Copies of this chain bind each other. A is one copy, B any other.
Amino acid sequence: MARIVKKFGGTSVGDVDRIQNVARVIKAEYDNGNEVVVVVSARSGVTNQLIARAKAINPNPADREMDMLLVAGEQETIALTAMALHALGVDAVSMTGAMAGIKTDPYHTRARIVRMECQQLIEYLEKKRVVIVAGFQGANELGQITTLGRGGSDLSAIALAKGVDADLCQIYTDVDGVYTADPRIVPKARKIQEISYEEMLELASLGTKVMQARSVEFSNKYNVPFEVRSSFNNNPGTIVKEEVSSMEDVVVRGIALDKNQAKVIITNIPDKPGSAAKVFQGISDANVVVDMIVQNIGRNGVANMTFTVPQDDMDRASKAVEEILAELGGGEVTLVGDVAKLSVVGVGMRSHSGVAGQLFAALSEAKTNIQLISTSEIKISVVIAEGDAEEATRVVHTAFGLDRVD
């Protein structure tokens, strides 16, 4: 007998038929003699409808009331899922996040989980009841309803797996697992069987949208292994877990490509102490997150600087920089929107040298110019022209031996 947490997203519970399908998946697990905790999101679309209704009433709704409003979505799904299980003869009971013991800090719409109090939930499991928990939500110390922000239901599942000491946590999604690269770009991409938290974290933060980075961070912090798998088939997915030494045998686990990148080049900035600080303070005040930065100390008392930002934020960043440059009394801005960031990720880089060289050789073979480089312990990222990006990804994928062998 195992204790298993299963999380289903909004698409998986989008309508009556899909809820019934999810109920069958749960029943199969339960019939195997396992204890099952299920985390569900709101039906896809419901959250957006509620937000639209709120904005029609108040363009700037209070965070506390947004939380009170949005949790209604998951509350509907947990009740319907429990009813679907009853129809299949499975004893099931629903719980809101608060009832399930998800205790958070007081920050509405972006609360962090501070503690899990799962006694009542565990009692239900011990009575052989399937427990359906509303994802994305919790309650603070005062009993106020809070929500966990984007991707919060994954976080709920991982926290519950920790809270009930589960043997397995399964995140059901619309993809089959984590791939060595996006299969739409690299047809020979392989599904990864096992990946470490850190690798998953790098891939998540690099724009592989299987999961939000914060859920992976949480699972890493509390060492909660989980599986990413499809709710539409029964294939084994990808296990995300603590690094084991055998993982280092593979140099590169996967390749991420982020096309939502733009490059901002500033030339001829007056080279005074604090110039760079002022520029980045201005961008930060404009709520833009800067990714890679390269600064060259120039000649004749001026400096040059290049950095990348999300393409959507390019105009906002540029406007902020123009204002700072006016203050500093000099400098020009050039924007390059059509760039992409290609990253190779793998814990094996720690013990294998020459990865950068191999990457640069592959890019050179693909006739791709490298515009910027940044590295971490388990990752090398390069900024390249967007037009070269997909072909470069395929070439690099092959170069690191990741191609599927049929």
A residues with a Cβ closer than 8 A to B are: 16, 19-20, 50, 53-54, 56-58, 61-62, 64-66, 68-69, 71-73, 75-76, 78-80, 82-84, 86-87, 93-94, 96, 99, 143-145
* Smallest Cβ-Cβ distance to A83: which chain B residue: B58
Are B93's CB and A57's CB within 8 A? no
* Smallest Cβ-Cβ distance to A69: which chain B residue: B79
Are A83's CB and B71's CB within 8 A? no
Are A69's CB and B58's CB within 8 A? no
Copies of this chain assembled into the complex: 2
Are A64's CB and B84's CB within 8 A? no
Q: What are 12 inter-chain pairs, A to B, with CB distance below 8 A?
A: A16-B56, A16-B57, A53-B80, A54-B80, A57-B84, A64-B94, A65-B79, A65-B82, A65-B94, A68-B78, A68-B96, A69-B83
**Which residues of chain B come closer than 8 Å to A66, judged between CB atoms?**
79
Q: Which of A61, A79, A94 has the most CB of B within 10 A?
A: A79
CA A78 to CA B144, docked complex, whole Å: 14
Q: How far is the CB of A192 from chain B (nearest CB, A)?
A: 36
CA A332 to CA B62, docked complex, whole Å: 68
Are A57's CB and B19's CB within 8 A? yes
Are A20's CB and B76's CB within 8 A? no
Are A99's CB and B143's CB within 8 A? yes
List 10 tightest A-B contacts by C-beta distance, closest first: A69-B79, A58-B83, A72-B72, A68-B79, A58-B87, A72-B75, A65-B79, A61-B83, A65-B82, A16-B56
CA A73 to CA B53, docked complex, whole Å: 14
Are A76's CB and B87's CB within 8 A? no
CA A125 to CA B42, docked complex, whole Å: 33
Q: Which of A19, A54, A72 has the most CB of B within 10 A?
A: A72
Are B75's CB and A69's CB within 8 A? yes
- Decide yes or no: A65 and B83 within 8 Å by CB, A72-B76, A143-B99 being known contacts: yes
**Which residues of chain B come closer than 8 Å to A69, judged between CB atoms?**
75-76, 79-80, 83
Are A61's CB and B76's CB within 8 A? no
CA A58 to CA B84, docked complex, whole Å: 6
**Which residues of chain B come closer than 8 Å to A145, judged between CB atoms?**
96
* Other-chain residue from B53, B62, B65 in contact with A16 (beta carbon distance below 8 A): B53
Q: How far is the CB of A318 from chain B (nearest CB, A)?
A: 34
**Which residues of chain B come closer than 8 Å to A54, judged between CB atoms?**
79-80, 83
* Smallest Cβ-Cβ distance to A66: which chain B residue: B79
* Other-chain residue from B61, B83, B143, B144 in contact with A86 (beta carbon distance below 8 A): B61
**Which residues of chain B come closer than 8 Å to A50, judged between CB atoms?**
76
- Decide yes or no: A57 and B80 within 8 Å by CB, A64-B93, A93-B64, A143-B99 being known contacts: yes
**Which residues of chain B come closer than 8 Å to A82, judged between CB atoms?**
62, 65, 68
Q: How far is the CB of A131 from chain B (nearest CB, A)?
A: 13
Are A68's CB and B94's CB within 8 A? yes
Are B143's CB and A57's CB within 8 A? no
* Smallest Cβ-Cβ distance to A134: which chain B residue: B68
Are A83's CB and B57's CB within 8 A? yes
* Smallest Cβ-Cβ distance to A70: which chain B residue: B79
Are A62's CB and B75's CB within 8 A? no
* Smallest Cβ-Cβ distance to A19: which chain B residue: B57
